[in-house]
Amino acid sequence: MYDQIREDTLFIILYTVVTTMALMASCYLLFRRGNAFAPDITPPVRLRRWTAAYFAAAALCHLWYMPIFFLSSSKDIMRTDLVGGLLDSMTVFPLAIIVMLNMLQDRRRPLWPIALMIAPFVVGGVFSVATLSYALIPILYVYLLLLSVCIFIYMVRALRQYGRWLRDNYADLEHKEVWQSFVVMAFILLVIIFYAFLGEGPLSQYAMQMIGILLIGYLLWRVETLNSLTPEPESEPESETPPLTPSPRVDGETLSKTGQLLQRHCIDTQLYLRHDLTLPQLTKAIGTNRSYLSLYFSSFGTNYNGFINDLRINHFMSLYRNAVAAHCSFSAQQLAIESGYSSFSTFRNAFKRKMGVSVTVWMANVKGKENNLPT
């Protein structure tokens, strides 16, 4: 394989470009304080640093493989290749997992299981380098496949938990959800596994370098457009409700009091119109705690995100009907902003989930009924 690409100047240029891009991306995340992609977003510092480490490891591993383009001894080429695989298994692969885990901001997950997962790679890689043999490589590829399946299952469960956490604590999910990122990363991982098992010849090498470019660009965009979500400590309520008991069950009187607090301090004051209102902010405003509110929402088959979005959408519908009746000039985007949404696309998706039709269809129906009323 290396004999075919060694004389390919175009591939060597492309390989150098990918290496340089990874190094520049690492330096950008480490040393640039501002956000060049989305200036109004503050990304998680921890995620930024781990992604920078991933890019640096990818660049260094690329640099390690470069002598293969110039070596003539098959023994030297094999040694360089095997050491490169060992370095990949010790740096690039575990760092990619850590980056994915750090996109989930509901809690810090332990990293020591990753060390256990890569231990067989390291042992097998050291043995292969010491014996200058590819004998264990197929076994390590099978282990990589099984490990990838386990990681996929874990990430699906973690993402579902993370999605519930977001909806239990945030009214606006824009720049917070990461399941799309996992889909992209999983696809790239599948391509890499396919390459590990079947990749032969220059064409697959070109494909891997192009995937590298796409991955660098995508990760940079993802890191810089993901809002930092630092879980806020729950303050003690100025309590109009009794203190929380260990029992997870709440009686009807407590639920009724919680509903009254929401009506008085959130609905009547239109607090729900505040952009990016979080559950801790709401609990502080109404003088209760997260546990009571969460139990209150779940007793009605909803969550914090659903509760706030219902109020905002009802507010939008009221504004729209009043504007149509008064023959005022307006835009749906303007009314969505006035209803507490910072993004029209977020509003549009929330509206369709609640009403079952698009906001355009609903507005057309309301306007048609208004125009048909007798004068």
Q: What tens digit of pLDDT does each residue of 80-104 get? A: 989 998 998 899 989 999 999 999 9
Q: How confident is the model at residue 303 (pLDDT cuts 50, 70, 90)?
A: very high
| pLDDT, mean of residues 249-271 | 85
What pLDDT is stored for residue 233 in this prediction? 52
Nearest to 274 by CA among 176, 350, 170, 346: 170
Shortest CA distance to 331 belongs to which of 320, 342, 340, 343?
320
CA distance linking residue 327 with residue 225, whole number of Å: 39
Mean pLDDT of 253-257: 82
Is residue 102 within 8 Å of 44, Cβ to Cβ?
Answer: yes
Q: CB within 8 A of 274, min separation 6: which ones?
A: 281, 340
pLDDT at 133: 92
Average pLDDT rounded to a whole number, residues 309-320: 94
Examine the pLDDT at 182 and tell me if it is beyond 90. no
- DSSP symbol at 66: G
How many CB atoms neighbour CB 142 within 10 A? 11
Residue 248: predicted pLDDT: 47
Across the chain, where does the E strand assignment appear?
none
For residue 170, the cross-strand partners are 278
Residue 1: band (very low, low, confident or very high) from pLDDT cuts 50, 70, 90: low
- Name which residue leads in pLDDT, 78 or 230: 78
- According to the model, what pLDDT value does residue 253 have? 78
Residue percentage of the chain with pLDDT more than 70: 88
Q: What percent of the chain has pLDDT over 90?
A: 47
Average pLDDT score over the chain = 85
Q: Comparing 37 with 269, which gets the higher pLDDT?
A: 269
d(CA 89, CA 123): 10
Q: Which pLDDT belongs to residue 9?
A: 82
| 114-172 confidence digits (pLDDT tens) | 999 999 999 999 999 999 999 998 898 889 888 888 988 999 999 999 999 999 999 88
Mean pLDDT, rounded, for 282-304: 89
Is pLDDT of 19 > 80?
yes
Which pTM value belongs to this model?
Answer: 0.84
In the block, residue with structure tokens 């879980």: 231
8 A C-beta contact, residue 72 and residue 105:
no
Residue 236 confidence (pLDDT) above 50: no
Is the per-residue pLDDT at 361 higher than 90? yes
Residue 14 scores a pLDDT above 80: yes
Banded model confidence at residue 30, pLDDT cuts 50, 70, 90 = very high
Q: 285: buried, middle or exposed (CB in 10 Å: 19+, 13-18, 0-12)? A: middle
Length in residues, the chain = 375
Q: The tokens of 99 are what?
A: 């980056």
As a whole number, mean pLDDT of residues 230-254 equals 51
